Amino acid sequence: MKRKKIFFFSGSLRAGGAEKRLSKLCNYFSINNFNVTLVLLDIRGPLLDSLNDDIKVVRLCDHKIKLIRNRLITRIICFLNLVKKEKPDIIFTTLAGTNLISLLSTYFLSKNGPKIVSEVVTHPIRHSRLIRNLYHRADLIISNSEGIKNYLIDKLSIEEYKVKRIYNGVDLEKIEEMSQVYEYDKKNSQKMIVNVGTLSQVKNQKDAIFSLFLINHFFPCTLTIVGEGDMRQSLTKLARRLNLSDKVFFTGFSNNPYKFIRKSDVYILTSKNEGLPTAILESMACKVPVISYDIEFGPNEIIDHGINGSLCLKNNVTQLTKEIVNLLRHKNVADKYKKEAYYTVKSRFQLKRWDPRVPSSNSPYSES
């Protein structure tokens, strides 16, 4: 039986949550009898090394292509040429920029052409008006949270049958194996907080640093921030200004954040918005308690406050600090969160919940 050909289309494989999710999906579909091609605007990023050997990686526009003044039009032409040449059965796009290219291209593709699947993993309000108006042209839209799904249906008037919610998945066995790497040791016996993500205004790590400043009025504590980004210099200056240079540690990007998470006493998420934060799931898989801002989408679909973790008001550093101090002071609370959180991930958020069948508008994805 001929294998179905699927294109995954994205910008690059830089060190972001959406890119990590994409690399996992490419690998997952490649071992489930799909012919997988990863199409990138720019072939770069540390996650390229994580791809299975049988995955073909191509640049959308070859360097030999003469760019015209409008880059978007150039990319649409390249996209149409590639689709005509390779004839994929399915095109799966993620992130607003590549969704825009694929959806505009549908005006020039045959109705019998490939199925277009668009993934929406961030708040649609961050997308341009043009892309929001184009989502109805997709054969299927996959959201990674119930909140985003409802927004697409209620606010953007997307037909309900076209929108499927499929939660992010994690590979429990792989995380367990990678988290056991012992090359990283806690700096000392102090309590350790961890945060993983791109260093950006959206991820809002400055609130984590402000919270650490307040926590150290109660007991010694450190903060390890795993990730890289434009805000690194600003965050480093903030830590220095608060006399926390010896308590805030920046690791840079790591292909194995689990070795840091596993050593920590609590994971905190301080983002201003998310889709469904994979870092929370990964921390739960490492059996580390989680405290998160209760932002519009995502965390409250994972965390049942007081049962498997804690939620606090968005941008409320004082409440965040109280939740952290309470958890670090009460071992019984931390132990309860660890146990319940791991059960949550195991029962609801394993990667194998992705259906390896053809993702069409009629595909029976589970939304349980």
Q: In what order do the strands lie in the sheet with 191-196?
A: 248-252, 221-226, 191-196, 266-269, 290-293, 310-312
* pLDDT the model gives residue 163: 94
pTM of the model: 0.82
- Annotate 35-89 with DSSP letters as a single string: EEEEEESS---GGGGGS-TT-EEEESS-TTSPP-S-HHHHHHHHHHHHHHHH--S
CATH for 172-348, options being 3.40.50.620, 3.40.50.720, 3.30.420.40, 3.40.50.2000: 3.40.50.2000
CA angle 326, 280, 120 (to 5 degrees): 140
pLDDT, one tens digit per residue, over 50-71 is: 899 999 999 998 755 555 557 8
pLDDT, one tens digit per residue, over 142-154 is: 998 999 999 899 9
* pLDDT the model gives residue 128: 72
* pLDDT the model gives residue 337: 98
* pLDDT the model gives residue 353: 62
Beta-carbon neighbour count of residue 288 at 10 Å? 25
What token pair was written down for 290? 């989680």
* Residues paired with 138 in a beta bridge: none
Describe the chain by its helix, strand, coil percentages, rounded to 5. 40, 20, 40
Q: Where in the chain is the domain with CATH 3.40.50.2000?
A: 4-166, 172-348
Q: Helix (H) and strand (E) counts for the chain? A: 13, 13
* pLDDT the model gives residue 365: 36
Query: Which residues in the chain show pLDDT less than 70?
Result: 1, 63-69, 125-126, 182-188, 352-368
Chain length of the chain? 368
Beta-carbon neighbour count of residue 359 at 10 Å? 22
Q: Select from 149, 147, 143, 140 the least CA-distant residue to 166.
A: 143
Does the domain at 4-166 match CATH 3.40.50.2000? Answer given as yes
